Structure 1
Amino acid sequence: MEDTIPVRKGEELDKAVLSEYLANQIPELRNHQLRIRQFGAGHSNLTYELEAGEWEAVLRRPPLGPVAPKAHDMKREYTILKALHSKFDPAPKPILLGEDSILGAPFFLMERKHGVVLDTEWPEGTRDTQRLGQAISEEMVDRLVQLHALSYEGTELEAMGKPEGFMERQVHGWIKRFNRALTDDVRSGQRLQQWLSEHIPTQAESTIIHYDYKLNNAMFDRNDYGKMIGLFDWEMTTVGDPMADLAVAMSYWMEPSDPSEIKTGLGKAPLTVESGFYSREEFLQRYAAKSGRDVEQIHVYLTFAYFKLAGIVQQIYYRYKNGQTNDERFRGMNHFVNHLLDYAEETAGL
């Protein structure tokens, strides 16, 4: 199944400049023509496949136009991968951090992994999907538990993260981001923001957290869908509350009983709604059993996770409405933001 597309209009890279730069940085690329394609999935950073002879890599750069403060930090993601790829094998190996002047924006290269990324459809000809759904669910839980068990002491993450007061900063920080990106066709969410400010959970421990952990950020072995071989989009990774990471994962983990507006807010419903995949409750219970952590207060974290997702989507929609991107996938995202605010209020019991 092809996971790349021709580069979208308006999102092209300067091929000549990039070719010269890479040839100077990586001598083996000299005398080889650079080929560029784009990964079509994703709604935020721009990600490209690079090939030259037998060499291949993935290039990541921020979206076009102005970006939110501290968002889309390529140097940070590169540093995170340097710290983690030898400890957690699904994390891609970083290759180089590019200079801003080359493409007009920060970027980095990482290894190109080959496998299956599952999103809304099974690859053609896939059989026994119920068994595969269960195996994938188990692997998703177990890899999250594994990540949360890694030590961050002595790595670059120790200096990058601030474990104390993590949830307080997250709640107030995302309230500010949401309000900064607010448009006139989206609800203000003031009642929800007040509830979140009054229900900041007490953090029991700090671990490495991915903070964007979802099915379509993972890659599985083509011959064994129960084995994760890649995990991507590490830009939000930090040291923080593992319950927040678990809740963010659950905010993306749709199930059949969810409202259609939630399941299809980003397009077609994800595969997690199909038979065989864990429900959120099953995911939570396996996580609790494997990690030994108490998940009784997960509804508080999940309320915040839905609000955080609303904030992320609103930032994307804000860029579209203000003409900073012409990607038509973003046209109706304001409706999804409103549905997420509704769902967060329901989760909170408002």
Structure 2
Amino acid sequence: MVRTDFGVADLAAPGYGLSMTRVRPSAASAVREGDELDWARVRRWLGEAVPELSGPLSVLQFPHGRANLTYLLEAGGTRVVLRRPPFGDLAPGAHDMRREHRVLSRLWRSYDRAPRAYAYTDDPSVAGAECFVMEYRDGEVIRDELPSSMRGYDDLGRRLMFALTDAMADLHLVDPAECDLEDLGKPAGFLSRQVSGWARRWELAAPEDGDALMAQVGERLAKTMPETQTHGIVHNDLKIDNCQFDPDDPDRVQSVFDWDMATLGDPLADLGTLLHYTPNTDDPAEIQGGVRYPPELTLPSQDEVAARYARRTGADLSQITWYLAFARWKTATVYQQLANRARRGETKDSRNAALGDTVPVLARSADSLLDQLS
């Protein structure tokens, strides 16, 4: 099946056309060995799905993501981004390209930090799995090395993290009905389903010598679950390297990526994830390495990030420690899944092999956080 969500007139509209901007040298590189697709088949599909793309196809890969595969496609000077799941066995419900396409084909109407999706197919003959294409935007993603275009700003670490906090808060203030996403998920019982669902994922991913504390933390989370205050659009993995910045404006996130787990639910689950990725200086080194921040950046504390979010949304954060514990536990499960894929030889990304070593550290941290609720 091929789906498109635009017409020629839409593509010509200011701000929503297919990108013809330059690609920053650090953004994309040659396709990684083992991540190649049948580009002739992809080109034939694009000719039908995005007829505005014409001419020979050139391909680069965005190399930094650990899971979903993301490629930069260019034909006739026009650029789009193609995303598909990773190769190999996937956890149930993970890497949902249909969901990501659905979100990004609608959310841009109410949230301009969301790139617009253009076309989707579930025909595996195109890219080996379901895939979709979306708008390409030019900008900087912050990882382990600060781009030269963003050096020279005072207090940059705090400004970037506060910009990310604002972007999260603004997403949570979006009315899903305004962008036709009111049926994206079932908000009632969201936290309960999250805990039980990630517990099942851990059962499937746990190695024979897996840390028994992981199952115990899951049980504790289920018993101490807070009441949800409000429901909204939840990204489910919002962190600094899933965002893009305009180097001329470090105080505002330009784009938010990786929407394949987006749903309707408790927005504080997103805030717990962001706090997990904003480590305090006394956190173990393994936790501080969860996101690769440039070493010259000085970040705000978790308390400062939480306070800024509360001011922008009016949320009560008296139970935020539970959400942080949940984020640590969920991240540990994701790391084990990625380590398993590396051990099975399903990825050439060497970074994933050692992620399983971090699982016990994250489990202990989550368990210690839950002790604070007693």
Residue 252 (structure 1) aligned to one of 271, 277, 286: 277
Q: Give per-residue Cα distances to partners, 1:293-334, cap 9 Å, x unaligned.
A: 111110011111111111111111122222322321111111
Residue 67 (structure 2) aligned to one of 21, 26, 44: 44
Residue 289 (structure 2) aligned to one of 264, 267, 289: 264
* Separation (CA, whole Å) in 1 of partners of 2:359 and 2:285: 14
* Separation (CA, whole Å) in 2 of partners of 1:274 and 1:336: 24
* Separation (CA, whole Å) in 2 of partners of 1:133 and 1:80: 29
Q: TM (normalized to structure 2)?
A: 0.88
Higher alpha-carbon deviation: 187-196 or 277-286: 187-196
5 Å matches for 1:69-88?
A: 69-88=92-111
CA drift at 1:37: 0.7
CA drift at 1:163: 0.7
Query: Quick check: 1:186–1:335 contact (8 Å CA) kept in 2?
Result: no
> Partner of 2:35 in structure 1?
11
> Partner of 2:191 in structure 1?
167
Give 3-state SS (helix, strand or coil) of 1:29's partner.
coil
> Partner of 1:200 in structure 2?
225
Higher alpha-carbon deviation: 87-96 or 122-131: 122-131
Residue 176 (structure 1) aligned to one of 200, 208, 218: 200
**Alignment partner of 1:59 is 2:91:** no
Residue 322 (structure 1) aligned to one of 344, 349, 367: 344
Give 3-state SS (helix, strand or coil) of 1:227's partner.
strand
> Partner of 2:119 in structure 1?
96
Give 3-state SS (helix, strand or coil) of 2:60's partner.
strand
Identity fraction in percent: 37
**Alignment partner of 1:222 is 2:247:** yes
Root-mean-square deviation (CA, aligned residues, Å) is 1.8
Q: Which amino acid aligns with 2:39?
A: K
Higher alpha-carbon deviation: 152-161 or 134-143: 152-161
The list of structure 1 runs, each at least 4 consecutive aligned residues, that deviate by more than 4 angstroms after superposition, is none
Q: Which amino acid aligns with 1:283?
A: V
CA drift at 1:164: 0.6
5 Å matches for 1:23-38?
A: 23-30=47-54, 32-38=55-61
CA drift at 1:257: 2.7
Cα 1:11–1:198, aligned 2, differ >3 Å: closer, same or farther? same
* Separation (CA, whole Å) in 1 of partners of 2:150 and 2:46: 39
Query: Quick check: 1:265–1:333 contact (8 Å CA) kept in 2?
Result: no
CA drift at 1:49: 0.5
Q: Which amino acid aligns with 1:344?
A: A
Query: Quick check: 1:4–1:39 contact (8 Å CA) kept in 2?
Result: yes
Higher alpha-carbon deviation: 21-30 or 217-226: 21-30
* Separation (CA, whole Å) in 2 of partners of 1:265 and 1:184: 24
> Partner of 1:287 in structure 2?
309
Give 3-state SS (helix, strand or coil) of 1:20's partner.
helix
Give 3-state SS (helix, strand or coil) of 2:206's partner.
coil
CA drift at 1:45: 0.5
**Alignment partner of 1:148 is 2:167:** no
Query: Quick check: 1:171–1:200 contact (8 Å CA) kept in 2?
Result: no
Give 3-state SS (helix, strand or coil) of 1:158's partner.
coil
Give 3-state SS (helix, strand or coil) of 1:5's partner.
coil
> Partner of 1:122 in structure 2?
146
Q: For structure 1, list consecutive stretches of 5 or more residues without a partner in the other structure.
A: none
* Separation (CA, whole Å) in 2 of partners of 1:125 and 1:66: 39
Cα 1:275–1:118, aligned 2, differ >3 Å: closer, same or farther? closer
